[in-house]
Structure 1
Amino acid sequence: MNLQVKHQIDPVVRTDLDFRLNEVPRFWFNNDPFRTRMFDALSLTFPVGERYFIESVRALRDKITDPELQQRVSDFIKQEAQHGIAHDKMNEEMKHQGMPVDQFTQFLASRFKYLKQHRSKQYNIAMTAAAEHLTALMAETFYNKKETLAEVHPFVRALFAWHAIEEMEHRDVAYDVMINVGEVPESLRKFALANITLLMFGFTFYRANVMLKYDGYTGLQRAKMAVRGIPWFFGRNGKLTAMHRQYLDWFKKDFHPSQHPVIRQYQTWIDTLAETNDPIQAGEAFWQAAW
């Protein structure tokens, strides 16, 4: 990896984007309950999780003296707030389906409250920076190849495309706060990614399993779904397995998120949104431009 190459883009705050989520069918991933609920379970995390990210960065904001980083932090906070609003709408649709959304989000909120009260600012900013690295890689992975999300309803695909774009735009903001003013030990930085990975995917699978139970599937049916469905995510040729090299870059001492290139069709999304003012059309163009 050429450590001199930097691929940094500034966050842009976008508001009032309508993804028409009330028109999306129950199992929007090719009528596949398991894959749909895995993504739904991930979406459930975002509103509460992103509030935690915002608060973790804000806790160190008064130490930042660089005006450019201050502005990037401000835009990061605004972007994350918008993500929370959009995924709250998706969560509302899950509530209409009878999912125990409040139970999940209340548990998450209590966990994040505990971390803020009983863990150091260093711990929380390290967890935030690691989570941002992970979500940016997931965004790249899901949209790098057209076939990955080919069977996803276009409105949901557009929602996650917008989220992916903004994750790439602010992927290094929390990291720069951590490095510049966080005083985070190298051992904690490395631990944070391993920890957040286990927590994120462990809770995602747990929530997906609970939702499938609410959908009416028996324990045996859910077990069969998991056996068939997990390899799509984590198997030898799994979609998330494909990001392992960039994932492991985090553990290099001289790593910085901007060493990873921005997804190839990034500008396609930007230009289409500017031309149409329609995030669904922008998401479709973004997906169509993948390999």
Structure 2
Amino acid sequence: MNAPLNVQYSADMQVRKNLDFQLEQHMPRFWFGGHPFKTRVFDALSLTFPDGERYFISSVRLYRDQITDPELQAKVKDFILQEAQHGIAHDKMNQILIDQGMPVDAMIGEMKSRFDYWLKHKSPEINIAITAASEHLTALMAECFYAQKETLAEVDPYVRALYAWHAIEEMEHRDVAFDVMQNVAKVPYAVRARALALTSVMMYGFTLYRTNIMLKADGFNKRERIKMFAQGMPWLFGKKGILSSMKKPYMDWYKRDFHPSQHPVLAQYPVWVETLEKTGDPIQAGEALWQAGK
């Protein structure tokens, strides 16, 4: 990801509808190699996506009538359609969590109230900055999860395929909200900088908070959960943690001349696209993407 600032990378956006990841038939309770903590961390992320995607769509729509560039207008349209599909897919995953006995409705309700409050009481500039910052984080996570084959080696292939598709489309639309923020909303640098700090604290803080709630619902007592967190945090944020490689590209956000296109697209991106075009099967495409990792 350490690319020269004068080089730009992009991927053509495509709206892919009705992809079937067969999670209802195949998703085990602890789908990350039987590890409760690792599974619930990702499940906690999935919880945020449906209402998070709808919030992103609403934030971009606040500026839709002000966009005069035809190319950006087209990208915003596809961004909205892609995000809507992500919400639908993760709603299905969240229903499986409900069937497992997870208190999904309570956790989602709390988050939705927060998004609704921001849209109603915070400025459009703050909302689009938070959306752009969130897209920065999710694009970096896509790279973290799939660049190295070993990172998701223990993950059930059907769940891995869902996240692979999501990762691919994060690569495709990672600059849309940023361009609206920068070129249409004209958000000041200070607001942009604060937005990433705020978004990071909330995203990781609420993910770990919900992880704890779900592990409790799984029947693990407080002592067991403390042990899981003590063992799991280095896996996430340790020297060789799965999110540790994000540090350098994460900090690029704070460069005044930063743009998401300065970061290379996930190297296996063409593999996923070509496999889906050839087979029409997102499971095979996800497997091909993962197999092509280093």
Give the alignment's TM-score, normalised by structure 1: 0.99
Written as runs of structure 1 = structure 2, the 5 A alignment for 1:112-131 is 112-131=115-134
Number of matched pairs: 291
* 1:258 matches 2:261: yes
Of 4, 7, 30, which residue of structure 1 is paired with 2:6?
Answer: 4
What's the counterpart of residue 16 of structure 2?
14
| Structure 2 residue corresponding to 1:94, chosen from 91, 94, 97 | 97
Deviates more, 1:79-88 or 1:9-18: 9-18
1:226-268 superposed Cα distances (whole Å, 9 cap, x missing partner): 0001111111111101110000000001000000000111000
Q: Which residue is equivalent to 1:149?
A: 152
Once the two structures are superposed, residues 15-70 of structure 1 have per-residue CA deviations (whole angstroms, 9 ceiling, x without a partner) of 01000111211000010000000000000000000000000000001110000000
Distance of 1:73 and 1:269 partners within structure 2: 23
Q: Which residue of 1 aligns with 2:213?
A: 210
Mapped partners of 1:104, 1:236: distance in 2 = 31
Deviation, 1:102, is: 0.6
Deviation at 1:183, TM superposition (A): 2.0
Q: CA deviation at 1:2?
A: 2.1
Query: Which residue, out of 13, 21, 30, partners 1:27?
Result: 30
- Kept in 2: contact 1:10–1:72 (CA 8 A): no
5+ residue gaps, structure 2: none
Query: In structure 2, what residue type is equivalent to 1:122?
Result: E
- 1:71-86 counterparts in 2 under 5 A? 71-86=74-89
Q: Which residue of 1 is the match for residue 180 of structure 2? A: 177
Matched to 1:64, the amino acid is I
Residue identity in the other structure for 1:9: A
> Is 215-224 or 7-16 further displaced after alignment?
7-16
1:250 is paired with a residue whose SS is: helix
**Residue 189 in 1 paired to residue 187 in 2?**
no
- Give, in whole Å, the separation in 1 of the partners of 2:154 and 2:185: 42
Which sections of structure 1, spanning at least 5 residues, go unmatched?
Answer: none
1:3 positional shift: 2.0
**8 Å contact from structure 1 (residues 269, 282) kept in 2:** yes
CA distance in 2, matches of 1:9, 1:33: 35
Cα distance, 1:4 vs. partner?
A: 1.8
Distance in 1 of aligned mates of 2:28 and 2:253:
37
Query: What is aligned with 2:110?
Result: 107
Distance 1:20 1:70 in 2: 34
CA drift of 1:10 comes to 2.6
Secondary structure, counterpart of 1:3 in structure 2: coil
Matches of 1:10 and 1:282, distance apart in 2: 17
**2:279 aligned with 1:276:** yes
Matched, 1:65 2:68: yes
Q: Deviations over 1:121-156 (max 9, x none)?
A: 000000000000000000001000000000000000
What is the letter of the counterpart of residue 290 of structure 2?
W
Q: CA RMSD in A?
A: 0.6
Segments of 4+ moved more than 6 angstroms:
none
Identity of paired residues, percent? 62
Shift of 1:9: 1.9
